[in-house]
Amino acid sequence: MSTRIRVFMFFAIGHMVLVALGMAHIGVLPTTTIPGKALRVYTGVSGADKSYGFFAPGVRHQERAVFLMTDAEGRQWEGDLGFGQSAEANLRLGSTANVLREVDDETAFHFMRSMAAKMFQRHPTAQTIKVQVQAYGIKLPGASNGVPAIDFPTMAEFRSGKQPEWIDLYSLTFQADEAGQTVAVLDNQGMLK
């Protein structure tokens, strides 16, 4: 076996070990160290850190970001971030809202402000843009920090007519200043402080 094939096999086996550890939710190195941070970046980019919970009860509801633009006359219209130039880009754009639940409030705020800024570029007549994060499922009793608990209906609930729907989780409304910078937060509904 040539050295080239051995090196390839070493990295392939190493990657599969990282996938198995990711599925088991086992961390390899502390993320406070430089090698740990590098490994975390690699596993995040390659997908080796995912648990691959495709089937119940590990299936998570889908989330999306919806944008409601309002112009100076009060006319409103909806928009989205659009689509990328590849299936992979579309997958990333479609899962953007899912990331917001996994980061701290300040990061989520800046992420939502960045999305609003992009929409202000696309819709220059908009005076305000409301960024709404929604989840597809059914609302369960109880809430955490004002955000409703969401899940899919059981088969019995589905047979009895309970259908999943898009449910508002939280939203922020932004306004652009004279220079076109997205600055003002006019309202705040949901988990963000």
Q: Within this chain, do residues 90 and 179 fall inside the same structural domain, yes or no?
A: yes
Distance (Å, whole) CA 158 – CA 173: 34
Same domain for 89 and 24, yes or no, is no
Residue 171 bridge partners (DSSP): 132, 189
Q: Which residue has the tokens 């919806």?
A: 66
- State the average pLDDT over residues 1-14: 90
Q: What are the pLDDT digits (tens) for 127-183?
A: 999 998 888 888 887 766 666 777 788 888 889 998 888 888 888 899 887 766 666
Backbone angles phi, psi at 135, to 5 degrees: -125, 145
pLDDT of residue 1: 83
User: What residue type is assigned to position 108 of the chain?
Assistant: A
pLDDT at 193: 43
pLDDT in tens, 63-90: 888 899 999 899 999 988 776 677 777 6
Q: Taken in order 40, 42, 46, 48, is the CA torsion positive or negative? A: negative
Are 117 and 178 within one domain?
yes
- The residue written with tokens 């509801």 in the block is 61
Q: Do the domain assignments include residue 121?
A: yes
Q: Comparing 4-8, 57-61, 128-132, 150-154, which segment has the lowest mean pLDDT? A: 57-61
| Total domains, the chain | 2
Residue 57 lies in a domain: no
157 and 74 in a common domain: yes
For the chain, how many residues are written? 193
Task: Write out the residue range of the structural domain in which residue 38 sits.
Answer: 3-46
Residues 137-154, buried b or exposed e (16+ Cβ, 10 A)?
bbeeeeeeeebbebbbee
Mean model confidence pLDDT for the chain: 79
Q: Look up residue 62 and give its DSSP letter.
A: P
Cα separation, 105 vs 109, whole angstroms: 6
Q: Verify that 40 and 79 share a domain, yes or no.
A: no
